[in-house]
Every structure is written in C-alpha cells, then in structure tokens.
Structure 1
Amino acid sequence: MSSQRPHSTGPGKPRRSQYAALALLALIFAVGMPACSRPSDEQQLRAALAEMQEAMEAGKPADFMRHIADDFTGAQGGVDREGLHNVLRGQVLANARIGVSLGPIDVELQDSRATVQVTATFTGGSGRWLPERGAMYRIVSGWRRQSGRWLCVNARWEQLL
C-alpha cells in the first residue's frame, strides 16, 4: 500500500481548473443570457403588431385589444378604446374572413415612447376565394412602454387610393 494521497482526478472529483472553467461558463451565461433572452424594444413592437394582425385574421378583437392602452385615442380624438373595440367587433361580425397585410414597418424609439408607421391592406368578405371588400391605410401610432409591455396610446389613419 502506498502512503500517497489518492489523486483528485478520479471519477466524480473534478480538478480545480475544471471548477474554474465551469465558474467562467456560468458567469458568461449569467451575463449573456439576459441580453439574448430579452428582445429589443423594436422587436417587441414588431411582435405586438404581428399579434394584432393575427388576432384580426382569427376574428378575435379582444386579443387585438391587449395591445391597446386604457387611455387610447384614435382618429384625432374621435375614437376611444371602447369605440375601437366596437369597430373591430363590427368588422368581425360583418366579414366571415378578414385579411390583413402589413407593408414595411417604420419604428422610431424615444426612451419609453415609440412612433410606428405602417401601411396596411385590409380585406373582408364571405370567406370565399376572393375578398369582397378591401382598403389600404397608412397608420401612424404612438406607443408607450408600461410595466415592461408596449401599449398603443394613439393612432391616426388615412385611407390610400
């Protein structure tokens, strides 16, 4: 029998350098993960628009309204949050199928506020192959970050040719 201490690299006993490497990896992940896991403000705004588009195409105006602030105003003060919800519900009732196509989205950020401009084409009809109605609008909307979420606080829209 040898009087030497057993070597510390046996199974289940990592060396000190392996601990240091694991600690370094843990530090890299701890510092890097928040940056990777949280989308940028612009990405969050674009995701909100995509969710609103999906909600209308699915005929779910209440899901659309999740992105609208309680103090929303639209059409130069002519429409409040409840009025917007009523307009959307009316469109869902009037059309078996609603289509929404968004053009390029321009996002301008100012701290916890943002302005989003987009051209949107809306179609509606009985759900058959061709839509019966359609219109294109330029929409300019104001957003604010509230409790970690972006909410639309105002919007104006004009119909294009």
Structure 2
Amino acid sequence: MLAAVLALLSTACGRDPPEQRLRDSVTQFQAAIEQRDAPALQEWLAADFVGPEGLDREGARRLAVGSFLRYRQLGVTVGPLDIAMQPDHATVRFTAALTGGSGRPLPEAARLYEVETGWREEDGDWRMTSARWSAKL
C-alpha cells in the first residue's frame, strides 16, 4: 500500500505545473503554424473555439490553409507570454510578428499583432477556446 502511495506521489510531483504545460502548448501551436500543418493546428483548438467575427474551429483551419497556400514560408515570432491562470482556464496575451514570403530572403508581408487567447485544460491537455487579435502597426 505504501509503495502504491509513493508511486502516485512521485508521478504527481514529476508532472509539470499547469502554467508550464500551457507554455509548452503555445510553443507547439506556434510550431504547427511554422510547419504549415493545418490538422495539427486544429487539434490545439477546443471543439467550441470562437475567434473574431464568429470564426469557429473549422473556419480557423480554413484560414490557416489559405495562408499556407498564399505564403510558401511562414514565420511566427511570439513576444513574452503574459499568462493569467484561473482554476479552470487561462488567458494568454502576447505580441506576434507574422512573416510570409515566397522563398525570397525578405518577406513579402510582415505584420505585428496584439493577441489574446483563452485556454482550457481538457483531460490534461490545454486547448485554445478563443482568440482575438488586432494589428499593432
């Protein structure tokens, strides 16, 4: 019995804290964008995801695919994450510089955005529930 309790405690202690797991999720979401992987990107979105102007999970996937078709190369540089943790959700704010080009050294398009995302932990994984962004420049 004592061995089982110790094993359970060591597993719980070895797990990253929620904020670190959330930071890792944001990093993996960013990687999915840079890898032009729309299905992986969609997996990070909660089933009830809502974006600007009623954008839903499927609409976000289509938006990503359209961007991937328009730009052969996409880059995302995310500024420092400002995370507000709540018991059942979190808000992540950051700036994001998006660049896109057709293979030339300089991007054809570059934009800086202020981004606010909502996240919820589902079965141990963080999923994005909402996103808002506005052009900064």
Asked if these proteins are the same fold (TM beyond 0.5), I'd say yes
Amino acid in structure 1 at the alignment position of 2:113: Y
Number of paired residues? 136
Amino acid in structure 2 at the alignment position of 1:51: Q
The alpha-carbon distance between structure 1 residues 148 and 33, as it changes in their structure 2 partners (threshold 3 A), is closer
C-alpha deviations, 1:22-65, integer Å up to 9, x for none? x99x98666334312x1111111111111111111111121111
The alpha-carbon distance between structure 1 residues 148 and 56, as it changes in their structure 2 partners (threshold 3 A), is same
Match of 1:34 among 8, 12, 26: 12
Amino acid in structure 2 at the alignment position of 1:35: C
Aligned to 1:15: none
Name the CA distance, whole Å, in 1 between partners of 2:136 and 2:86. 28
Aligned to 2:22: 45
Aligned to 1:65: 42
Would you say 1:144 and 2:120 are equivalent positions?
Answer: yes
Tell me how large the CA RMSD over aligned residues is: 1.9
Name the CA distance, whole Å, in 2 between partners of 1:57 and 1:150. 19
Aligned to 1:17: none
Alignment of 1:1-161 (within 5 A): 31-36=9-14, 38-75=15-52, 77-161=53-137
Aligned residue for 1:35, secondary structure, equals: helix
Aligned residue for 1:128, secondary structure, equals: coil
Amino acid in structure 1 at the alignment position of 2:9: V
The alpha-carbon distance between structure 1 residues 146 and 28, as it changes in their structure 2 partners (threshold 3 A), is closer
Aligned residue for 2:104, secondary structure, equals: coil
Gapped runs of 5+ residues in structure 1?
1-22
Amino acid in structure 1 at the alignment position of 2:12: P
The alpha-carbon distance between structure 1 residues 110 and 89, as it changes in their structure 2 partners (threshold 3 A), is same
Higher RCO, Cα 8 Å, sep 6+:
2
Larger Rg: 1
Name the CA distance, whole Å, in 2 between partners of 1:33 and 1:146. 19
The alpha-carbon distance between structure 1 residues 156 and 28, as it changes in their structure 2 partners (threshold 3 A), is same
